[in-house]
Amino acid sequence: MTLVAAAAAAASAFAADCKCGKECSCEGGENCTCSSDEFNYTPGEGLSYGEQPIVTAEFELKFDSKYMTYGVIDGKDPILTPSAYATFFDWVYFGVEAIFDVTKGNGKRGGYGNRAGKYTTLDSVVGIAHEFDLGETLGKLSVDFNYIYEYLPRYQGSMDDTQYLNLELSLGDLWLEPKLWIERDLMADEGTYVNLELGHGFKIEAIEGLTLRPSIAQGLGNSLRTKGYFSDVADGFSHGGLMDTTVKGELEYEFTDWLKFGAYVAYYDYLFDSNMRDAARAYNAQWGKSCDHSYNFVFGVSLKATF
C-alpha cells in the first residue's frame, strides 16, 4: 500500500468513527466535528441550524403544598402552576405562567373569594438569558434578566396589577453553585428583594439520571419591600433587613433527554430579626391559629418537558 493510500484509508476510518453521515474532520480518530448546513432537531435541545440553536420550547406543571412568597404564606392550601416558555437563538425568551388554587377559600385579602380551579395570578414574561464561559476557575456564568407583568384577578378593586424586573446570576460549575436573585417591584410597593443561595447537586450513582441537591438561601428586603408585606399586620413596622432563611432538598430524575421529574421539601423561617419574625408570624396568622408562627414546611413536585 502506498503512503497516499494508507493516509486515505486512515482518514476514511476516522470519518467513519464520527457516525454522523456528513462531512467530518477528525483528530486522532476520537475528537470528531461534523459540519452541516441543515436544520436539526434534538429532543431536549430543540431546533438548530448546524450548531446554531434556533428555538427550544419548555412546558412545566408544578404542585406546591402552600403558596409561599418571601418565606411567608400567600395561600395556605395547595396550588398548581403551569408554565410555557420558548427560547430563541439561546438568548431571548418569552413565557407565560399562572397560579391555580385547588381548594375553596384559599385567600385572605379583599376581592379574592372562592377561586378553586381558577387562576389567581397570570404572568407574562420576556427576558434574555445566556451562559458565558469565565475560564477554568469559575466555569460558566449564567445570566437571566427578565420583565414580568403580573395580572391579579383576585385583587381587582382592592389591588392593582404589578410588574417586576428580575436579575439572576449563577455559577453552576463551582462546588457550592452560588445563585443570586434580585427582584425589583415596579408598581405595588417599588420594593427590592435579594436572595443568595448556596447549594450542590450530587448524582446518585445507584440510580442513573437521579440528582440530589441540598441548598440554603437567605433573603434580604429593603424597607419598601418589607413594609409592603408587613406594615398592615405589624404596627410601626418601618425597616428593611434579613428576611426568610430557606433550607431545601431537591430531587431531579431524568426519564429521557426531554422529560424530567422534580420533587422538593423546604423549611422557611425568619431567624435573624426579632421584629421581622414577629411580623412574619402575624402575617401567617391571618390564616388562623394553625399558621401563627414564623416558620413553614413546604413540599412540591413538578414535571418538565423540553422540545
Sorting pLDDT into bands at 50, 70 and 90, what band is 232?
confident
Question: Average pLDDT, whole number, for the chain?
Answer: 87
Q: Are residues 170 and 201 in the same domain?
A: yes
Q: Are residues 27 and 118 in the same domain?
A: no
Q: Which residue reads 417599588 in cell numbers?
A: 190
Q: Are residues 204 and 226 in the same domain?
A: yes
pLDDT of residue 34: 54
Which residues lie below 8 Å from residue 118, measured CB to CB, with a gap of 6+?
A: 100, 101, 153
Domain residues for the domain of 12 are: 1-35
Q: Are residues 20 and 60 in the same domain?
A: no
Q: What is the pLDDT of residues 254-303, one digit of tens each?
A: 999 999 999 999 999 999 999 999 999 999 998 888 899 999 999 999 99
**Which alpha helices (H) appear in 177-245, and where do they start and end?**
223-230
Q: Are residues 171 and 199 in the same domain?
A: yes
Q: Are residues 136 and 218 in the same domain?
A: yes
Give the strand pairing for 259-269 and 241-254: antiparallel
Sorting pLDDT into bands at 50, 70 and 90, what band is 178?
very high
Q: How many structural domains comprise the chain?
A: 2
Q: What is the dihedral of CA 192, 193, 194, 195, to 10 degrees?
A: -170
Which of 5-9, 128-132, 164-168, 188-192 has the lowest average pLDDT? 5-9
Percent of the chain with pLDDT over 70: 82
Q: Are residues 8 and 142 in the same domain?
A: no
Q: Are residues 126 and 179 in the same domain?
A: yes
Contact indicator for 95, 83 with CB cutoff of 8 Å: yes
Q: Are residues 11 and 48 in the same domain?
A: no
CATH value at residue 235: 2.40.160.40
Q: Are residues 17 and 124 in the same domain?
A: no
**Which alpha helices (H) appear in the chain, and where do they start and end?**
3-18, 223-230, 274-284
**What's the whole-model pTM score?**
0.84
Question: Which grid cell is 24?
Answer: 467530518
pLDDT of residue 288: 86
Q: Are residues 91 and 183 in the same domain?
A: yes
Q: Measure the CA–CA gap between 175 and 172, rounded to whole angstroms.
A: 8
* Mean pLDDT, range 103-119, rounded to an integer: 64
Q: Please work out, in degrees rounded to the nearest 5, the angle formed at the alpha carbon of residue 142 by the alpha carbons of 206 and 216.
A: 60
Q: Are residues 29 and 150 in the same domain?
A: no
Q: Measure the CA–CA gap between 276 and 268, rounded to whole angstroms.
A: 13
* Mean pLDDT, range 46-70, rounded to an integer: 95
